A and B are shown apart, each in its own frame.
Chain A
Amino acid sequence: DIQMTQSPSSLSASVGDRVTITCRASQSIASYLNWYQQEAGKAPKLLIYAASSLQSGVPSRFSGSGSGTHFTLTISSLQPEDIATYFCQQSYSLPRTFGQGTKVEIK
């Protein structure tokens, strides 16, 4: 199975800050990388697919980049409604493994 590792595990930032979350794959997965947002008590929501494609309806302050084994999710200007846990997931092979999550809080 492909292992996905996210960093940091949690972060605290101020409203308006630029926030970056990193995801690394244990082997090359080309651009087969998705990002999800999960608010407390809710189901995950797809943000980014194919490493950098924004899902319909997702605010443009979210962006994804990377390929191979190194990927990033960036929130260009953190908003209060972005408080959530973010997960990366590889879709290169089955099982489609997730990273352990990054919890984003407001400072």
Chain B
Amino acid sequence: EVQLVESGGGLVQPGGSLRLSCVASGFTFRSYSMKWVRQAPGKGLEWISYISTSGLGNKFDADSVKGRFTISRDDAKNSLYLQMNSLGVEDTAVYYCAREGGYCSGTTCYYYSDYWGQGTLVTVSS
């Protein structure tokens, strides 16, 4: 059974830092791209950060977190991380890690988030 378990959320003051972790099980972690998606209280989903497989070595961050958040992975530990610096009140949200699944038909590949963790709440407040 595929499982993603996030941890590391909590209360932090504005300007502070936090590191989120996501431990994966039930699949070959190193073979999948991963991402972080967040959801502010009562709001919609915001895709914030993506990392490809280690072999490809690609990362992508949304403008809202670029330069402040860093995504990384440790395939030996089946783990995904999000280092969050210079946190502001606008970063208050539930943070989900998700696996990027894909379906290819010929040369066309479609990607989606097929498994999600339960989320970890980050609250930025003084």
- Assuming the contacts A43-B117, A44-B116, A50-B103, asked whether A98 and B45 have C-beta atoms less than 8 A apart, the reply is yes
- Do the beta carbons of B110 and A50 come within 8 Å of each other? yes
> What's the interface size class on B, roughly?
20 to 34
Expressed in whole angstroms, the minimum distance between the Cβ of A54 and any Cβ of chain B is 12
Query: 28 interchain pairs (CB within 8 A)?
Result: A32-B110, A32-B111, A34-B113, A36-B45, A43-B118, A43-B119, A44-B116, A46-B101, A46-B112, A46-B113, A46-B114, A49-B103, A49-B110, A49-B112, A53-B103, A55-B114, A87-B44, A89-B112, A91-B110, A91-B111, A91-B112, A95-B48, A95-B50, A96-B47, A96-B111, A97-B47, A98-B44, A98-B47
Residues of B with C-beta under 8 A to A98: 44-47
The digit string for A71-91, where 1 denotes a CB below 8 A from any CB of B, is 000000000000000010101
